[in-house]
Amino acid sequence: MSSIGTGYDLSASQFSPDGRVFQVEYAQKAVENSGTAVGLRGKDGVAFAVEKLVTSKLYEPGANKRIFHVGSHVGMAVAGLLADARQVVEIARTEAANYRSDYGNDIPVKHLTNRVAMYMHAYTLYSAVRPFGCSAMLGSYDPHSGPQLFMIDPSGVNYLSWVGEATNGKHEMVPEPMFREAEMYAKNALRESDSEGEM
CATH number, residue 77: 3.60.20.10
Number of folded domains that form the chain: 1
The C-alpha atoms of residue 134 and residue 164 are separated, in whole angstroms, by: 18
What single letter denotes the amino acid at residue 186? A
C-alpha torsion angle, residues 10, 86, 72, 113 (rounded to 10): 10
The C-alpha atoms of residue 89 and residue 133 are separated, in whole angstroms, by: 13
The C-alpha atoms of residue 18 and residue 85 are separated, in whole angstroms, by: 30
Q: What would the pLDDT profile of 143-188 be if each residue is shown by its tens digit? A: 888 899 999 988 888 877 654 445 554 545 555 676 677 777 777 7
Q: Tell me the three state secondary structure of residue 173.
A: strand
Q: Phi/psi of residue 68, each to 5°?
A: -125, 155
Q: Indicate whether 144 belongs to any domain.
A: yes
Q: Indicate whether 4 belongs to any domain.
A: no
Residue 141 structural domain = 27-198
- Count the neighbouring beta carbons within 10 Å of the beta carbon of residue 50: 20
Q: Indicate whether 61 belongs to any domain.
A: yes
Q: Indicate whether 42 belongs to any domain.
A: yes
The C-alpha atoms of residue 160 and residue 187 are separated, in whole angstroms, by: 23
Q: What would the pLDDT profile of 7-65 be if each residue is shown by its tens digit? A: 667 666 677 778 777 778 777 888 888 888 888 888 888 999 888 777 778 877 777 88
